[in-house]
Amino acid sequence: MKSFLENQIMKSRTIAIAGHTHPDGDCVGSCMGLYNYIKENYPDISVDVYLEPIADNYKIVKHTEDIRQPGAEPKVYDLFVCLDVSQKDRMTKGAELYFDSAKSTVNIDHHVSNTKFAEINHVLPEASSASEVVYDLLEEDKIHLDAAEALYMGIICDSGVFKYSSTSEHTMQIGGHLMAIGVDSSRWIDEVFYERTYIQNRLMGQALLNSVRVFDGRCIYTVVDREMFKQFGADHNDLEGIVDQLRLTKGAEVAILISETEEGTCKFSFRSKRYVDVNRVASLLGGGGHVRAAGCTVQGSYKEPLKIFLEAIEGQL
């Protein structure tokens, strides 16, 4: 029996796919997985994928050169699919215009904070990743290598290479099936998840040196400000892995990465191990995500928001 997504694809002639701002591995993996699947199986359908600039290590996925930036010209798609987007204003900048004009809209996600903003909303908070949710909506025998590699990348990125608490038996089974299609697991894990550029290593090293522990070491945070980005010639794509490394600090239950943007905002990335619901913490200032991984963007300085977040974290420890 075909899924609702397959049925939506089959009755469309033009399709747009978009992820969230500052796309991570799961966002790129789910978007490119669906894009490659449609290109491989429905060559008569015109499909466009819209993402903001992606990190170099994600360009290992086939056809990332096809990624487009939204333009000012009006476009009306038969179907618009949002992937890994928890709320409409988190969509690829500019793509919301195409979303609003599309004949049908679908929202596929795994964030518990999803606001269900599309006509069709398929949100599974228990899934390891948006890529896992997408996989289950596709026909297994029609998933070829290009799509399989993209989905595998998304799953390993959001599951921490199958180690985070959201990893289930089903997640592992999907990973095994994607490997059976031909995904070179060790290569993808090394090149996507573990490899770092020299700039990324230097930025991470400084971020770890600057880290601060509070609540008897049960919470650790660090700040990457604009001066640090300039010092190392880095950008926000080079932050990958820092908060996860902080999370691995012995005795820490919660890790926080704070980064300043050129637009005068600050981004908070939260991770927890077992007890603290960081989605609840992030939601205090309009953010959200998952119980063990969440984020928030605030205007201006990070100092007052940090006090609010730390007080909420202390209340859960």
Residues 76 and 135 in one domain: yes
Q: Is 74 left (phi over 0), alpha (psi -120 to 50) or beta?
A: beta
**pLDDT in the model for residue 165:** 84
Among residues 90, 73, 95, which one has the least CA distance to residue 15? 95
Task: Report pLDDT digits (tens) over 161-179.
Answer: 998 888 999 999 999 999 9
SS3 50: strand
Residues 48 and 111 in one domain: yes
Could you give the strand order of the β-sheet that contains 46-50, starting from the edge strand earlier in sequence? 46-50, 14-18, 79-83, 104-109, 120-123
Tokens (6 digits) for 97: 């215009």
Residues 52 and 185 in one domain: yes
pLDDT value at 64 more than 90:
yes
CATH number at residue 221: 3.10.310.30
**Treating both helix axes as pointing N-terminal to C-terminal, what angle do 169-181 and 145-159 enclose, rounded to 10 degrees?**
150
Q: How confident is the model at residue 193 (pLDDT cuts 50, 70, 90)?
A: confident
Residues 70 and 123 in one domain: yes
- In the chain, the number of structural domains is 2
Whole-model pTM: value is: 0.87
**pLDDT in the model for residue 119:** 97
Residues 208 and 182 in one domain: no
Boundary (domain end) residue, out of 174, 194, 214 = 194
Q: How confident is the model at residue 264 (pLDDT cuts 50, 70, 90)?
A: confident
Q: Is 200 left (phi over 0), alpha (psi -120 to 50) or beta?
A: alpha
Rounded Cα distance, 200 and 26, in Å: 20
DSSP string, 91-124: B-TTTHHHHHH-SEEEEEE--TT----SSEEEE-
Question: Which ranges constitute the DSSP H helices of 160-225?
Answer: 169-181, 185-188, 198-209
C-beta atoms surrounding 47 within 10 Å = 23
**pLDDT in the model for residue 289:** 85
Boundary (domain end) residue, out of 159, 194, 229 = 194
Phi and psi (nearest 5°) for 261? -110, 165
pLDDT value at 72 more than 90:
no
Boundary (domain end) residue, out of 170, 194, 218 = 194
Residues 134 and 215 in one domain: no
* Residue-wise burial string across 236-274, b where 16 or more C-beta atoms lie within 10 A, e elsewhere: bbbbbbbbbbbbebeebbbbbbbbbeeeeebbbbbbbee
**What proportion of the chain, given as a percentage, has pLDDT over 70?**
100
Q: How confident is the model at residue 290 (pLDDT cuts 50, 70, 90)?
A: confident
- For residue 293, the enclosing domain spans 198-316
Residues 19 and 146 in one domain: yes
Residues 21 and 165 in one domain: yes
| Average pLDDT, integer, range 252-274 | 93
pLDDT value at 98 more than 90:
yes
